[in-house]
Amino acid sequence: MLPLVLSAAVATVVPFPRRQPNAGLPDEDARDSLLQPLCPPNDRDLVEQALAGRTSALSTLYERHAPRIHGRIARLLGRASDAEDVLHETFIEAFRDLSKLREPDRFGAWLERIAVHRTHRRFRYRRLLERLGFESTARDLSLEALALRGDPELGLELRRVDEALSRLPAELHIAWKLRAIEGLELSEVAERCGCSLATAKRRIERAQRVVRNTVGVAFPEPLS
Amino acid sequence: MNQPSKLRFPLRSALEEIPSRDAVLRVQGRLFERAGELHTKRSRLIRTFLLSTAAAALVVGTLLLGAVWSPFDSTGRRTEAGALLTEDGSEFKRLQSESAPASVRLADGSVLRAAPGTRVVGLGSTATEFVVLLERGAVDIWVTPGGPRRFRIEAKWARIEVVGTEFRVTRKEHGAEVFVREGRVLVYSPTLKDGVAALGPGEHLEVGENAPSPPLGFSAPQESGPFAEPTLVLPPPLHDDSNAGPVSAFRVESKGPAPPMPSSISQNAFVIATETFATLRDQADRARVARDHARAESLYREILARFPHDPRLGSVRYALALACLEQPGGAARAREALLSLLLARPAKSLEEDTLVRLIELEASLGLPAESARHRQLYLEKFPTGRHRARLDLP
């Protein structure tokens, strides 16, 4: 008896939600988002919705991928302000060229490829500015700064690695970091860098050789 | 060769996570400010409509302009757009006088009067420029002030440019001589040190291959009395338009000593100045890259002195500051350059970088009060600036 009374009271106080036109919902996007199923949509669905003109899909795509992309860019570039700029450029380019994406369910990988390309461009731009003295060489997110606290020896090694990498061409630098730091497979490195597998291997090997010879430290594991 | 390494693959496991949340939110704010316009048919329609309207307006404007302006003058001859014609509506082609002076009045009231034995040839006339060549003799020119056209007189070894004034140009065997009665006149000549000299009322200048020395066109310094009034050699003014004022003709050769030479003209005037802003800037930047900072500094300062109104001076001041910083004892000069850059109201990004440099420089120079003041200014102007972390700002 008591459960029946309680459920009746709850039903009186909290009315059953009914769909009414424009009943307190701000706009179409918000209404659509409320009506979406609880199971999160995959990237393919989101891309299709975005192409159909739904802004909320773009926003969801951004929220899903931006933190990972930002972390990756920041580790590649070593500077927070640059990473933020590149993140912005990456998503502008991605959303602008969304209709050119052939495999919507591989949106994440496509996005990373754009990010790596933008990072490469930023490296070259930064080198030019540094050469002219308009850019500081300081990195607030250098590998040393990111090393886990309490291990000064590792920090020292990472600083020497960073110094060696900073003298390398951008494409070698990026390929090595994608492999050695991010832990991507060789085929993934090749795809992100937009080059062949052999070229990716060669770049990583060259960078690894410089790190080993110049700094005197190396991974025990083979990278390429 | 290799020492035991603590590096483990993948290295990311040995690195701290980067706090991305704030950056991601900031970018999201910027990215979706105008997200409503992305991929919406309405925005595309509006954009198309605006573009079509602008194109239509451009076409209509061009047609209207074509209808209003006719490329033919009253005699049916084709003329340049907005060309300055003579008083009787014909194109100025030549002014020649053999034994008696001759003159011509232009449509805007300007007058050219040729001394005997003079030939002036019209080279071109547009809405912005009126160009003549003085082939021989001497010509007095009175240019109506406030006109839209720059008058240019080409003579041997000299080009004279003027907007509104009265002056005389005399063609000599090896050059030309300019005497200014009113206003200011620019004389361009490869024989001048900087390639150009500005003459004021009463001043005259002779330029040429074998111009008298010392100095060019000027006699002794003004010690023996005031500059004597030149002698009138041509007949009275030919036009009696009292509004325009009489056109007085003066000999170039004065009785007394000439006024002192303008400071911009050196004793050794036969130096051709060919450096432009870009070439000087290029030299300075190359000097910096070659780490010849003293030379770079002097070149940057030369740019500042020679092109004081160039809109690109902001980056020059910034580069000057960096060149000073690279030299021992140059910090104070660098600070001076940065302060002058701030006063010149540079672009936002440059202003931000300048402030950061200034804050760090003043802190290193032991000027904590100034550094704090600029730090506060940075906070006010760039609350979400790129260099907040570098400056340890909250």
Pick from A47, A58, A160, A223 the residue to mutate for testing the B interface (most B CBs within 10 Å): A58
Q: Would you say residue B301 has pLDDT above 60?
A: yes
Q: Would you say residue B246 has pLDDT above 50?
A: no
Residue of A55, A147, A223 with shortest CB distance to B14: A147
Q: Which residues in chain A are contacts of B288 at CB distance < 8 A?
A: 132-133
Q: What mean pLDDT value characterizes chain A?
A: 81
Give the percent of chain B with pLDDT over 70: 73
Q: Would you say residue B351 has pLDDT above 90?
A: no
CB B151 within 8 A of CB B180: no
In which residue are the tokens 């070894």 written? Answer: B157
- Residues A82-121 pLDDT 10s: 999 999 999 999 999 999 998 999 999 999 999 999 999 9
Lowest mean pLDDT among B90-94, B168-172, B274-278: B274-278
Distance between A18 CA and the closest CA of chain B, angstroms: 28
Q: Which residues in chain B are contacts of A182 at CB distance < 8 A?
A: 10, 12
Distance between B386 CA and the closest CA of chain A, angstroms: 6
- Residues B197-206 pLDDT 10s: 777 777 777 7
Q: Rounded mean pLDDT of B262-291?
A: 61
Q: Which residues in chain B are contacts of A181 at CB distance < 8 A?
A: 10-12, 15
CB A215 within 8 A of CB A209: no
Specify the higher pLDDT residue, B108 or A48: A48
Whether B289 sits inside 8 A of A131 (CB atoms) is yes
Specify the higher pLDDT residue, A21 or B370: B370
Confidence (pLDDT) at A177? 92
- The residues, ordered by sequence, that sit 6+ positions from B4 with a Cβ below 8 Å of its Cβ are none
- Residues B60-101 pLDDT 10s: 888 887 666 555 544 444 445 567 788 788 888 888 888 888
- Is residue A48 classed as helix, strand or coil in its secondary structure? helix
Closest CA to B114 of B14, B234, B198: B234
Q: Which residues in chain B are contacts of A74 at CB distance < 8 A?
A: 18, 20
Closest CA to B374 of B392, B362, B385: B362
Give the percent of chain A with pLDDT over 70: 76
Q: Would you say residue A31 has pLDDT above 70?
A: no
- Residues B312-327 pLDDT 10s: 888 888 889 888 888 8
Q: Which residues in chain A are contacts of B6 at CB distance < 8 A?
A: 151, 153-154, 157
Q: What mean pLDDT value characterizes chain B?
A: 72
Q: Is B117 left (phi over 0), alpha (psi -120 to 50) or beta?
A: left
Whether A148 sits inside 8 A of B14 (CB atoms) is yes
Q: Is residue A12 very low, low, confident or very high in pLDDT (cuts 50, 70, 90)? A: low
Lowest mean pLDDT among A91-95, A201-205, B2-6: B2-6
Q: Rounded mean pLDDT of B19-27?
A: 88
Pick from B2, B8, B17, B24 the residue to mutate for testing the A interface (most A CBs within 10 Å): B24
Biggest CA pair distance of chain A: 84
- Residues B6-16 pLDDT 10s: 777 788 888 88
CB B232 within 8 A of CB B107: no
Provide the edge-to-edge strand list for the sheet that holds B175-182: B102-105, B111-114, B138-142, B166-172, B175-182, B204-208
Q: Which residues in chain B are contacts of A58 at CB distance < 8 A?
A: 32, 35, 38
Confidence (pLDDT) at B43? 63
* Residue B158 β-bridge partners: B155
Confidence (pLDDT) at A217? 63
Which DSSP symbol is given to A28? Answer: H
C-alpha–C-alpha distance, residues A4 and B161, integer Å: 102
Q: Would you say residue B380 has pLDDT above 90?
A: no
Q: Would you say residue B231 has pLDDT above 60?
A: no
C-alpha–C-alpha distance, residues A101 and B50, integer Å: 29
Q: Which residues in chain B are contacts of A53 at CB distance < 8 A?
A: 39-41
Closest CA to A35 of A44, A23, A43, A47: A23
- The residues, ordered by sequence, that sit 6+ positions from B28 with a Cβ below 8 Å of its Cβ are A59, A62, A63, A66
Q: Would you say residue B120 has pLDDT above 70?
A: yes
Distance between B297 CA and the closest CA of chain A, angstroms: 14
Whether A132 sits inside 8 A of B285 (CB atoms) is yes
Give chain B's contact residues with A (Cβ, < 8 Å). 1-3, 5-12, 14-18, 20-21, 23-24, 26-28, 30-32, 35-36, 38-41, 285, 288-289, 318-319, 322, 353, 386-387, 389-390
C-alpha–C-alpha distance, residues A186 and B9, integer Å: 14
Q: Which residues in chain A are contacts of B12 at CB distance < 8 A?
A: 75, 181-183
C-alpha–C-alpha distance, residues B211 and B217, integer Å: 7
Whether B9 sits inside 8 A of A223 (CB atoms) is yes
- Examine the predicted complex and report whether its ipTM is higher than 0.85: no
Structure tokens at B39: 């991929």
Helical (H) or strand (E) element with B112: strand B111-114
Provide the 10 A C-beta neighbour count for residue A140: 16
Confidence (pLDDT) at B40? 56
Q: Would you say residue A69 has pLDDT above 90?
A: yes
Provide the edge-to-edge strand list for the sheet that holds B129-136: B94-97, B118-125, B129-136, B150-155, B158-162, B185-188, B196-199
Q: Is residue B114 very low, low, confident or very high in pLDDT (cuts 50, 70, 90)? A: confident
C-alpha–C-alpha distance, residues B114 and A153, integer Å: 90
Inter-chain Cβ pairs, chain A and chain B, closer than 8 A: 140
Structure tokens at A117: 């390309």
Q: Which amino acid is at B123?
A: L
Sign of CA dihedral B340, B345, B346, B350: positive
In chain B, whose CA is at the least distance from the CA of A64? B24
- Residues A127-185 pLDDT 10s: 888 888 776 667 778 888 887 766 777 888 888 888 888 889 999 999 999 999 998 99
Residue of A70, A213, A223 with shortest CB distance to B20: A70
Confidence (pLDDT) at B229? 33
Whether A154 sits inside 8 A of B7 (CB atoms) is yes
Q: Which residues in chain A are contacts of B353 at CB distance < 8 A?
A: 134
